[in-house]
């Protein structure tokens, strides 16, 4: 029996109007920050979303929580449709989901104590009876590994790691069915990052937290995620069980990102990322596969044909004409001879 997804996303498009154009006669141009994304998240699962800067991770995360309007496509959260913008559905989404942001200090009100911040969430969401807030605040602080005595402090009197734990406690205060963490450890020291990752791992075990973890640090995502989705210019180019994706990537972009992960053991360190150049402008996507100008494996069909049809085998999807096992484990793959046959 397959578990029921708590979140289902079908062909989601989120776009922003480009500057210029519009009413004076010029045709309005749009940047497709999320360009036809489909994915599933099951209860208790952690989905990591990775990709270079500008690949659309944050826009996708915001759209999933109704914080960014979608242009087309469908998002279903726990059996309610949230993409048609119905107020009651959005209100339920807000009650049952939470976001943890990158910069812990600026995400907290500097004038409010930790206790007041958490109590406010409990009150607004009517999570505990009047008078029981202080006890629940202490519980929440303990849950994220903080001394309940910190409830009387303001953010300025906390370290970055402590602030991020408060941010996580605030997210947990609504007893969310889904938490989206967007680059929530990027601003922290490496040792504090490790502590926050361990905290998420504990929360998965203790309260069955369902988490979407957005990051460009693949090593962290590997440690935390059950499945991983790799984004490139608004699309998911590869998605599957974390170890399958990391040990045998099927898209050259994923392989290149993995090759760029710094190795702790210098003897095993691989040379720098082999991805050539910068990503193209999302306003002027190349024809064919959008990754082809940077891909060491590109064939003529990748340059001129339609964008690759996503493949799926063994629960592992990839949007490339290459069959599984084609990618060299070397970070500087040789150009492959021309492929024959239809792999799509
Ligand atoms: N409000 C906006 N208006 C116009 N363009 C936007 C807006 N927000 C994001 N974009 C553009 O959408 C694309 C995706 O941005 P997004 O921030 O989602 O990417 P990201 O993968 O989260 O990047 P990063 O890791 O740097 O946060 C980028 O080209 C970005 O410039």
CA distances from 323 to 164, 295, 316 (A): 42, 15, 12
Structure tokens at 318: 């990839």
- In whole angstroms, give the CA distance from residue 222 to residue 224: 6
**Are 166 and 108 contacting, i.e. CB atoms less than 8 angstroms apart?**
yes
In testing the pocket of ligand 1, which one of 15, 21, 51, 56 has its CB within 8 Å of the most ligand atoms?
A: 56
Write out the E strands in the chain: 5-17, 30-42, 46-50, 72-77, 80-81, 97-100, 178-182, 211-214, 227-232, 235-241, 311-313, 316-318
- Give the per-residue pLDDT at 337: 38
- What's the pTM? 0.89
- In whole angstroms, give the CA distance from residue 55 to residue 235: 8
- Give the per-residue pLDDT at 335: 42
In testing the pocket of ligand 1, which one of 19, 55, 220 has its CB within 8 Å of the most ligand atoms?
A: 55
- Give the per-residue pLDDT at 3: 66
- In whole angstroms, give the CA distance from residue 118 to residue 301: 55
Q: What is the mean pLDDT of residues 169-173?
A: 93
Q: pLDDT band at 268, cuts 50/70/90? A: very low
Per residue in 287-312, pLDDT tens? Answer: 999 999 999 889 999 999 888 888 99
Q: What is the mean pLDDT of residues 262-268?
A: 52
Q: Is residue 59 within a helix (H) or strand (E), and if so which, with residue range? A: helix 57-64
Q: What is the mean pLDDT of residues 26-33?
A: 84
Any idea how long the chain is?
Answer: 344
Tell whether ligand 1 has an atom less than 6 A from the beta carbon of residue 16.
Answer: yes
- Give the per-residue pLDDT at 87: 85
Architecture of domain 5-247: 3-Layer(aba) Sandwich (3.40)
Tell whether ligand 1 has an atom less than 6 A from the beta carbon of residue 102.
Answer: no
Tell whether ligand 1 has an atom less than 6 A from the beta carbon of residue 7.
Answer: no
Separation of CA 42 and ligand 1 centre (Å)? 26
Structure tokens at 257: 């990102």
DSSP secondary structure, 295-333, as one string: -TT--HHHHHSPPPPPEEETTEEE-SSSPTT-S-SSSSP
- Give the per-residue pLDDT at 23: 60
- This complex has an ipTM of 0.98
Q: What is the mean pLDDT of residues 132-146?
A: 94
Higher pLDDT, 269 or 59: 59
Report the nearest-CA residue for atom 14 of ligand 1: 56
Tell whether ligand 1 has an atom less than 6 A from the beta carbon of residue 48.
Answer: no
Asked if the model's pLDDT at residue 269 lies above 50, the reply is no
SS (H, E, C) 238-282: EEEEHHHHHHCCCCHHHHHHHHCCCCCCHHHCCCCCCCCCCCCCC
Q: pLDDT band at 119, cuts 50/70/90? A: very high
- Give the per-residue pLDDT at 343: 33
Average the pLDDT over each of 54-58, 156-160, 251-255, 339-343 and give the range with the smallest value: 339-343
- In whole angstroms, give the CA distance from residue 326 to residue 337: 11
Domain ranges of the chain: 5-247, 254-344
- Give the per-residue pLDDT at 51: 94
**Are 233 and 225 contacting, i.e. CB atoms less than 8 angstroms apart?**
no
Q: pLDDT band at 22, cuts 50/70/90? A: low
Write the CB contacts of 92 (distance below 8 Å, at least 6 apart in sequence). 77, 80
Report the nearest-CA residue for atom 26 of ligand 1: 53
Per residue in 55-92, pLDDT tens? Answer: 999 999 999 988 899 999 999 999 888 877 788 888 88
- Give the per-residue pLDDT at 4: 74
**Which atom of ligand 1 is least distant from the CA of 216?**
25
What value does the mean pLDDT of the chain take? 86
- Give the per-residue pLDDT at 58: 95
Separation of CA 31 and ligand 1 centre (Å)? 9
Per residue in 221-238, pLDDT tens? Answer: 999 999 999 999 999 999
**Are 237 and 52 contacting, i.e. CB atoms less than 8 angstroms apart?**
no
- In whole angstroms, give the CA distance from residue 202 to residue 36: 33
Q: Which of 254, 243, 238 is nearest to 310 (CA)?
A: 238
Share of the chain above pLDDT 70, in %: 88
């Amino acid at each position: 029996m397959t578990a029921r997804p708590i979140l289902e996303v079908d062909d989601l498009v989120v776009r922003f109007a480009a500057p210029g154009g519009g009413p004076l006669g010029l045709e309005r141009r749009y940047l497709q920050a999320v360009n036809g994304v489909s994915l599933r998240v099951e209860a208790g699962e952690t989905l990591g979303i990775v990709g270079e800067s500008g690949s659309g991770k944050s826009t996708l995360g915001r759209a999933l929580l109704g914080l960014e309007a979608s242009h087309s496509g469908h998002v279903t959260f726990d059996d309610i449709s949230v993409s048609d913008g119905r107020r009651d559905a959005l209100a339920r989404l807000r009650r049952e989901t939470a976001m943890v942001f990158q910069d812990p200090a600026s995400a907290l009100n500097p004038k409010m104590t930790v206790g007041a911040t958490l109590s406010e969430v409990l009150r607004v969401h009517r999570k505990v009876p009047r008078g029981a807030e202080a006890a629940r605040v202490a519980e929440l602080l303990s849950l994220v590994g903080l001394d309940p005595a910190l409830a009387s402090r303001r953010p300025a009197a906390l370290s970055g790691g402590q602030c991020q734990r408060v941010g996580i406690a605030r997210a947990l205060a609504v007893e969310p069915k889904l938490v989206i963490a967007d680059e929530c450890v990027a601003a922290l020291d490496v040792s504090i990052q490790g502590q926050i990752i361990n905290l998420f791992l504990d929360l998965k075990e203790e309260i069955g937290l369902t988490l979407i973890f957005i990051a460009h640090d693949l090593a962290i995502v590997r440690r935390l995620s059950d499945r991983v989705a790799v984004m490139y210019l608004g699309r998911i180019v590869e998605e599957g069980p974390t170890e399958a994706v990391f040990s045998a990537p099927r898209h050259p972009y994923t392989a290149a990102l993995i090759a760029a992960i710094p190795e702790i053991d210098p003897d095993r360190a691989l040379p720098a990322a082999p991805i050539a150049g910068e990503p193209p402008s999302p306003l002027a996507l190349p024809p064919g596969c959008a990754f082809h100008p940077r891909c060491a494996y590109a064939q003529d069909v990748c340059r001129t044909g339609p964008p690759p049809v996503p493949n799926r085998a063994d629960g592992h999807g990839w949007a490339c004409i290459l069959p599984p096992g084609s990618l060299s484990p070397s970070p500087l793959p040789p150009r492959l001879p021309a492929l024959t046959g239809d792999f799509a």
